[in-house]
Amino acid sequence: RRYGPVTRANHWLTACSLILLLISGLALFHPSLFFLTGLFGGGQTTRWIHPWIGVVLFVSFFVLFVRLVRLNLPRKEDATWIAHAKDVVSGNEEALPELGKYNAGQKFVFWAMSGLIVVLIASGIIMWEQYFNGIVSIPVRRIATIVHSVAAVLIICTFILHVYAAIWTRGTISAMTRGTVTGGWAWRHHRKWYRELARRKRDGADPAPAPPAE
């Protein structure tokens, strides 16, 4: 067992919010993409709902952040994993160090998402004239718009990287659909984490229920 039902629901709420923000944001970003507003009931509705979806994303990811931050702190083996990037790409797992629940690439996605979501919510609030009109000057709002757009492009790239890595590493997606992975997958990709589960089972602890941080 890799993820419990609460973590999986939290993850998919975050993912769905991000996808909806991506579509609605692109619809407002350039006239050539305005047709996408039809998915939300028109331009005015899209403009109204986009920031509220952003609030949902922020709250949802904050809960996910609290649950997973401890497991995504940098470890000594992360530097070794990065140094053996060629072995990661070639699939030569035996040349890599034994890893905990997350590797350096997964941790990068986690922290990139964390930082970019904070930038997006902060700049988005400055741009949200309906409720925050007048809190900053127009020049500051224009800067916030540029910052918001750049952060949006970066988080889209990070999201694509995350999806690609999940598909590329076979057996990963089942962790967030069924909550489990095979023993072979765990041994190959996250051996230290797998040993910890085995140790807990040997010591009489039940590894099936995910601990709160997971």
Residues contacting 194, CB < 8 A, separation 6+ = 183, 186, 187
Catalytic annotation present for 148: no
- Residue tagged active-site, from 11, 162, 189, 190: 162
Residue from 71, 149, 167 nearest 111 by CA? 71
Amino acid residing at 152: A
CA-to-CA separations, 50 to 11, 23, 54, 165, 195, in angstroms, rounded: 19, 9, 6, 28, 44
Q: Positive or negative, the Cα torsion across 92, 98, 99, 101?
A: positive
CA angle 133, 28, 15 (to 5 degrees): 100
Q: In which residue are the tokens 């939290």 written?
A: 10
Contacts of 169 (CB under 8 A, 6+ apart): 189
What is the CB neighbour count within 10 angstroms for residue 37?
A: 20
d(Cα 93, Cα 199) in Å, to the nearest integer? 22
Residue 120 and residue 60 in contact, taking contact as beta carbons nearer than 8 Å: no
Q: Catalytic residue positions? A: 162
